[in-house]
Amino acid sequence: MKEQTPLSVSGRVGDGEAGDTRPLLGHLAAALHAQLSAMEGDSPAPRLADALLRDAARERATDLHLDAQSRGILVRLRIDGVLHDAALLDHEPGKLLVNQLKALARLDPVIRFVAEDARLGYELDGEMLDLRLTRAPCLHGDKLSIRLFDRPIMPHQLQELGLHAQGLEELQEWLGSVSGMLLVAGPSGSGKTTTLYALLHRLKLHERSVITVEDPVEYQVDGINHIQIDKFHGMTFVEGVKAMLRLDPDFLMLGEIRDSDSAHAALTAASSGRALMSTLHSRDAVAVIETLRNYGLSGHDIATNLMLVVSQRLVRRLCPHCRVEAGPNNEEKHWLHQLGRPVPKRVWHARGCERCHGVGYRGRIGLFEVWRIDAEEYQLILQEGDRRTLYRHLAGRGHRFLLDDGLAKVQEGLTTLGELRVIGGYNVLRTLKLDD
Ligand SMILES: [Zn+2]
């Protein structure tokens, strides 16, 4: 006989053809079960909240959503960047859980008509979880979303992030030169800061002075001086860079170039003879030139300071226990045709097993493009050459674009063609191809 449980959806996640999967919310299911069979007495709410946070932490979820719906409260987890329906709770336990989480965050239990934000620390098995809770009123009641700030694990090896050997060599060479600017480009959440810290880790910190200016400081590393941006007290990026330069550094790291002020601050630092690293939002390596121009830097400013650009994305890593090798499907073939790429006979696909909860993926891996600007490209940038010209030049010298790195990782069975869709900006490559 099937056991009765207030969890209407329990276990199966994603659309992989899952067999028997371990339920995503095992702790919560057990706590609900205990609540149903418990005697009157203590409120079960704290136990429910604890069980849910425990499940979320165990599954490495970065976000937790509780959505009020007509049928109950839908619980979803974001794992490796993708949301999964984890459970549909009946109204009663669902409400208990939502109110308990609101109470933990010291939010007013009364329904309000505006969104609210709160941060809270929650202790789980001796570890402090840093949570940010957002509550917004929706049709059927409050929606809660909780961001779980895990203490980030500092990557020690760039290879662990997925960087290919040739890129690693170019970065290593730059680290030895101690001059000019290195920029890491990509959208939010593509792991740019992690890459910078993995680079810093390769420096012999006792022989170098390294200073970072960040908003906020993401990793704390012994031997590195971190300056936290604090606009309220006048510590802006511009002020931070001025302060950095007075401290006699070898390496400077600026958290992000996000506007004209920070672009000029970065330029000041790099042209003072120090090595500067920073990140910015850009579609790919070549698009960085355009972004910097938009922030008011001239071709001369860029050409004389920019040495190396790394462009990156994060994609989901195939579960090694259940991946399957087969021909690409028609959609994938069509996509590769459009990009002018050869269609491989066999690629790896996601299937799903007990170890990956039927999702077919577990963890993430970076796709990387490393561009060291050569003498001819230096001239092209100096002469304000357009993006097409740069793409054409790079394609001519066999440059490994983001897509090339992605396709190599598909061949190695690390990810799938479907995951490569996260790379935008291939129109230019396609145009170049059609021109030829
Ligand atoms: Zn699996």
Domain membership flag for residue 9: no
Distance 14 CA to ligand 1 centre (A): 12
pLDDT of residue 167: 92
pLDDT band with cut points at 50, 70 and 90 for residue 9: very low
pLDDT band with cut points at 50, 70 and 90 for residue 111: low
pLDDT of residue 327: 94
pLDDT in tens, 163-218: 999 999 999 888 887 789 999 999 888 889 889 888 888 776 667 888 998 887 77
312 with 375, same domain? yes
Where is average pLDDT lowest: 30-34, 301-305, 424-428? 424-428
Q: Last residue of some domain: 104, 122, 149?
A: 149
Distance 121 CA to ligand 1 centre (A): 33
**Residues at Cβ < 5 Å from ligand 1 ion:** 319, 321-322, 353, 355-356
Kindly report the CATH number assigned to the domain that includes residue 89.
Answer: 3.30.450.90
Distance 364 CA to ligand 1 centre (A): 14
User: C-alpha 80: how far from its chain's center?
Assistant: 9
Decide: 407 and 416 in contact? Cβ < 8 Å. no
pLDDT of residue 172: 87
Average pLDDT, the chain: 84
pLDDT of residue 429: 56
Give the separation between CA 28 and CA 87, rounded to whole angstroms: 10
Domain membership flag for residue 67: yes
pLDDT band with cut points at 50, 70 and 90 for residue 415: very high
The whole domain housing 300 covers 159-435
Domain membership flag for residue 20: no
Kindly report the CATH number assigned to the domain that includes residue 344.
Answer: 3.40.50.300
Distance 415 CA to ligand 1 centre (A): 13
Q: Last residue of some domain: 105, 129, 149?
A: 149
pLDDT in tens, 20-65: 345 678 888 888 877 766 655 667 888 889 999 999 988 888 899 9
Which residues are CB-contacts of 188 (< 8 A; sequence separation ≥ 6)? 281
